[in-house]
Amino acid sequence: MKKIFILIVTAILASNAAVSYAAERSVSVNPRNVDTQRRIALVIGNSMYKVSPLKNPANDAAIMAKTLRGFGFAVDERINLGMKEMEQAIEAFGHKIKQGGVGLFYYAGHGMQVNGENYLLPVDANIEGEAEVRYKAVNAGLVLAKMDMANNGMNIVILDACRNNPFARSFRSSNTGLATMDAPSGTIIAYATSPGKVASDGSGANGLYTSLLVRSMQKPGTKIEDVFKQVRTSVRQETGGEQIPWESSSLEGDFYFKLPKEGKTIVAEETPEPQPDKEPSAPAPTAPGITVKKAIKKKKSVQVAQAEIQEQPAATPSRSDTYIDPATGMEFVLVKGGCFQMGDTFGDGDSDEMPAHEVCVDDYYIGKYEVTQGQWRNIRGNNPSRFSYCGDNCPVDQVSWNDIQDYIRILNQRTGKNYRLPTEAEWEYAARSGGKSEKYSGGNDLDSVAWYDSNSGDQTHQVGQKQPNGLGIYDMSGNVWEWCQDWYSDSYYKSSPRNNPQGPSSERDRVLRGGSWYSSAAGTRATYRFRYNPDYWNYYFGFRLARTK
């Protein structure tokens, strides 16, 4: 299914807020820090249509919601909504942004235009003709109206809508895709492709434009216009010039999705002294054995209290603590069991990493390296990896959780062993060198231990090239995301059992950990949690194996 992705950023700025104009008139500028304001987002992904279901929207919504949470947005993430539910969600969003701050609306799913009006289709839509659209779909103008009424300062609307009309046979007109939309002054409108053209849906779990946009958004200090330039270049190269994103902008200030490393996101306004505020220092790392009691968002301080039981980090393994499987050549490290504070103890994590809580795990083995392309081919006889040119010693990529279960079944039949994916608790305990207070797997110097967006060159690398962590395990931060056994729940830490937690009994998505070659530094933290539907794969998804001792 082909898609169009329209991003509309509606920025209602003060009339005297133009940085460029101020510079031309030699007027001093005093930045007003946007990151100190509330950031509110409504994210909707509709996939399970009764007529013409879609593969990617729910996943596109999931990755966008996770990304926005990393930027400090309070996200209301909604999947597969009917007409009434969509209207109620938009109404609630409108009330929230009336309280001020930055508002963001994201929609992925079917969309269509009728008589120059754009409509977002709920999953229960059953439209027999054009005249019914206005009564059975949500007018996209409703979102802009709510933002205009809120007068909250800045708003962003992202519409990722399929260009193919699922009800086209019953329509008189031949209009395709979405029409251009009028928006208030101070607006940037970005299309996944030029008007009248079609956009690629991508061959993985996300649309091409969505994947590249999320990646560019994560680069610190990149102005929104530059984000689009980077995406346009990447999309054009990926499609051989068949798809060229396009923008129209009337913005009058600078906006950053992710803050500059040495400054803050700003909206300019005229005042005598131009002194940008420096970003406040991040909270100092907490000592081992503490529990986070309260975390205040937007880089404020974190209150912690001493836990009753201290962490019991595992010792660095000796040669006798490792073994090589004779049938596959895979190397495994014995992880001595112990107790630790699982979750964010540095005070800069997402809400699903909280609260930090005591977890104890038994002894187990875990792969010294990520499973490689050669090891995958040895069992399955093929190589699904996008980066196949990287070689047999590079991690296998483009594998789903379900693909891995098939791999493990064949592997266990061949070896007589009981290999499996690690639980999320086992993964984090091993990544943190046996439960130590480490920001990344192996310490706090990311470049020495991980391939990520600042040093990867946009691809995977041979396993074991960076420094290992304290247990002698490689690449648990970066290179490829690693699937875990558990189902994902954003509230699981609130009720997790203490001993050998296995995750929720059932949910929609499975857990991924560790970040990848495309991830920002924040995404490679040892406590960072990600998730995806077990059926889906992408070129940054891989895994490593575990085994009960």
* Secondary structure of residue 210 in the 3-state scheme: helix
**CB atoms closer than 10 angstroms to residue 129:** 10
Q: pLDDT confidence of 165, banded at 50, 70, 90?
A: low
- d(CA 232, CA 246) in angstroms, rounded, equals 7
Residue of 196, 191, 194 lying closest to 161 (CA atoms)? 191
Query: For 5-11, what is the mean pLDDT?
Result: 45
Lowest mean pLDDT among 1-5, 16-20, 392-396, 461-465: 16-20
Q: Do 230 and 328 belong to one domain?
A: no
Considering 253, 273, 293, which residue would you say is the last residue of a domain?
Answer: 253
Residue 264 lies in a domain: no
The set of residues, in sequence order, having a beta carbon less than 8 Å from that of 45 and lying 6+ positions away, is 57, 58, 59, 60, 61, 62, 77, 78, 79, 80, 107, 108, 109
**Cβ-contact 243, 200 below 8 angstroms:** yes
Tell me, yes or no, whether 282 lies in a domain: no
Q: Looking at per-residue confidence, does 249 or 46 come out higher?
A: 46
**Confidence label for 6 from pLDDT (cuts 50, 70 and 90):** very low
Which residue do the tokens 């919601």 mark?
65
User: What is d(CA 82, CA 549) in angstroms, rounded to the nearest whole number?
Assistant: 48
Give yes or no: residues 88 and 192 share one domain: yes
Kindly state the percentage of the chain with pLDDT values over 70. 76
For all residues of the chain together, what is the average pLDDT? 79
Q: What is the mean pLDDT of residues 521-532?
A: 93
In whole angstroms, give the CA distance from residue 405 to residue 111.
36
Kindly indicate the confidence band of residue 189, based on its pLDDT and cuts at 50, 70 and 90: confident
515 plus 401 within the same structural domain: yes
Q: Residue 126 maps to which CATH number?
A: 3.40.50.1460
Q: Is 361 left (phi over 0), alpha (psi -120 to 50) or beta?
A: beta
Lowest mean pLDDT among 136-150, 236-250, 429-443: 236-250
Nearest C-alpha neighbor of 41 from the set 71, 75, 17, 72: 75
pLDDT recorded at residue 166: 59
Banded model confidence at residue 422, pLDDT cuts 50, 70, 90? very high
* pLDDT interval class at 379 (50, 70, 90): very high
- Residue 271 is assigned to a structural domain of this protein: no
Does 331 share its domain with 209?
no
355 pLDDT more than 60: yes
User: Residue 126: how many CB atoms within 10 A of its CB?
Assistant: 10
pTM of the predicted model as reported, rounded to 2 decimal places: 0.57
Residue 531 has pLDDT above 80, yes or no: yes
Residues 448 and 522 in one domain: yes
Name the phi and psi angles at 365, rounded to 5. -100, 145
Q: What gap in Å lies between CA 411 and CA 418, rounded to an integer?
A: 9
The answer to whether 531 and 344 are in contact (CB under 8 A) is no
Residue type, 290: I
Q: Which of 476, 490, 488 is nearest to 524 (CA)?
A: 476
Tell me how far apart the alpha carbons of residues 254 and 266 are, in angstroms, rounded to a whole number. Answer: 6
Whether residue 284 lies inside any domain: the answer is no
- Using the 8-state DSSP alphabet, how is residue 145 labeled? H
Question: 125-139, 178-192, 490-504: which range is least confident on average?
Answer: 178-192
pLDDT surpassing 60 at residue 392: yes
Q: Is residue 507 part of a domain?
A: yes
77 domain-assigned? yes
**pLDDT-derived band of residue 147, with 50, 70 and 90 as boundaries?**
confident
Total domains in the chain come to 2
Which residue, 216, 238, 253, sits at the end of a domain?
253
Give yes or no: residues 97 and 178 share one domain: yes
**Judgement on whether residues 241 and 372 belong to the same structural domain of the protein:** no
Q: 478 or 248: whose pLDDT is higher?
A: 478
Among 234, 253, 272, residue at a domain's last position:
253
Whether the per-residue pLDDT at 472 is higher than 50: the answer is: yes
Co-location of 238 and 337 in the same domain: no
Distance, in Å, from the CA atom of 127 to the CA atom of 171, rounded to the nearest integer, reads 10
pLDDT at 203: 64
Instruction: Please check whether residues 319 and 196 belong to one and the same domain.
Output: no
Contact 203, 398 (CB under 8 A): no
> 315 and 249, same structural domain?
no
Nearest to 206 by CA among 102, 69, 85, 66: 66
327 and 476 fall within a common domain: yes
Q: Could you tell me the residue range of the domain that residue 369 belongs to?
A: 311-548
496 or 30, higher pLDDT: 496
Q: H helices within 390-459, ranges in order?
A: 401-415, 424-431, 446-449
User: If you average pLDDT over residues 68-73, what whole number do you get?
Assistant: 86
Q: Are residues 203 and 331 in the same domain?
A: no
Q: Is the pLDDT of residue 311 over 50?
A: no
Distances (CA, A) of 382 to 307, 385, 431: 49, 9, 29
Supply the CATH number for residue 455's domain. Answer: 3.90.1580.10
Residue 301 in any domain: the answer is: no
Please give the average per-residue pLDDT across 363-379, as a whole number. 96
Contacts of 165 (CB under 8 A, 6+ apart): 112, 171, 176
Q: Could you tell me the pLDDT band of residue 235, with boundaries at 50, 70 and 90?
A: confident
Asked if residue 299 belongs to a domain, the reply is no
